[in-house]
Structure 1
Amino acid sequence: METVERVDTSRGELVLRRDNGDYELISNGVFLMDTRSGASERTLVRAALAGMAPGGRLLIGGLGVGFSLAEAVGYAALAEIVVVEIEPAVVAWHATHLAPFSGGALDDPRVRVVTADLGGWLADTDERFDAICLDVDNGPDWTVFGDNAALYGDAGTAMLGDHLNPGGVLAVWSASASAAYATRLAATIGEVETRLTEVPHGEPDVVYLARRS
């Protein structure tokens, strides 16, 4: 395992490391994501955009290694894709080490990258979307950063719903199932569907889908 870059951020140490051509993002010693598959991240976007009408707007919370954004730019129906990523270093790495995984998607004219905390940005904007893909942590029951937990709570879920157009979809990625979170989504936004992606070890990755009723 090779450390490619190490940066000190306001939220601690962020490390990009490489293993046989694949990259991993590590925050304060905790694994966040890697480039080995991306299947569940693509499912996140495909499920959220299924049946999207032309002219749709998509918000992606968390750029990560770029799988979600790369999937999204393949949808001609999207008129705009807003990506909110808190770490400037992650955005910068998509011009270098991570460029093959986002496939030049940041250069798509429909893409607007906002370097900010997602919760704070949502609180300050009145923008609405036809779909929101949330992948800012390891899921509602396993947050690496304490501040991210608020996005999965009652108030955070309601705020995400407020930024959906009528009939819009909130898709949430999680490294494990959370019955309590599914219940919260159903009560706050609308009917919930669940998509599972098997992984080599451990529980399947989960995508929760809730459509604003």
Structure 2
Amino acid sequence: MPTTYLKTKFFIVAIFFPIFSFGRDFPGMSEDIVASYRAESPPGIPPEKYVLVHPDGSWAVNMKLNDPIYLLNIRTESADNLFYSREIDSLFKGDFSVLVDRETLLSNGKTDYVILTMSRPAENNPYYVRCAPNMGEDRAYLLAISDGKVKVVSKKFGGCSRTYEVIREQEFIGYRVKEGGENPEILRYMIRGNSIVWERE
């Protein structure tokens, strides 16, 4: 893929969500639960690292009443392998089906980047304007996971006519987001040092 050098670069302003909220007791995930996810994760590069779980350790794909949702790191031996985000939790309460896109996992130092995809029937949201007949409501968020926190870097990775792909070009790693139409806008979210920046292509 061609690489374009741009004069203007814009730093991402990330929204921070602490993993701990006051009064919240994090459940303990047993090593058996973590091992079972490792055993069930499909082979691939990159390997599956994060799964969404309920407090009892069961896989979270739909909401359980009054149960918070956690990101579980299944590749660490540390006891601090659960992450919480109010933003992600609210998606389940909005009846979205949510998945971590394993193929989008990129790592830089102590920070992991991954895309969270979500969908629900359009009729669940009376204010949603369909992209096309019979299509549901789709979204995709870029997350950064580091230092006990989940950051929502961008909410603009999915939706009507918008697609994303991973960039792995030697020293250039990040994501490309394309907006459909006659004159499509293409943005690149590139990992540079300890930051991620977006550029117009």
Query: TM-score, normalising length from structure 1?
Result: 0.27
Instruction: Report the structure, 1 or 2, having the larger helix content.
Output: 1
**Max Rg structure:** 2
For CA contacts below 8 A with separation 6 or more, give which structure has more relative contact order. 2
Query: TM-score, normalising length from structure 2?
Result: 0.28
Instruction: Report the structure, 1 or 2, having the larger strand content.
Output: 2
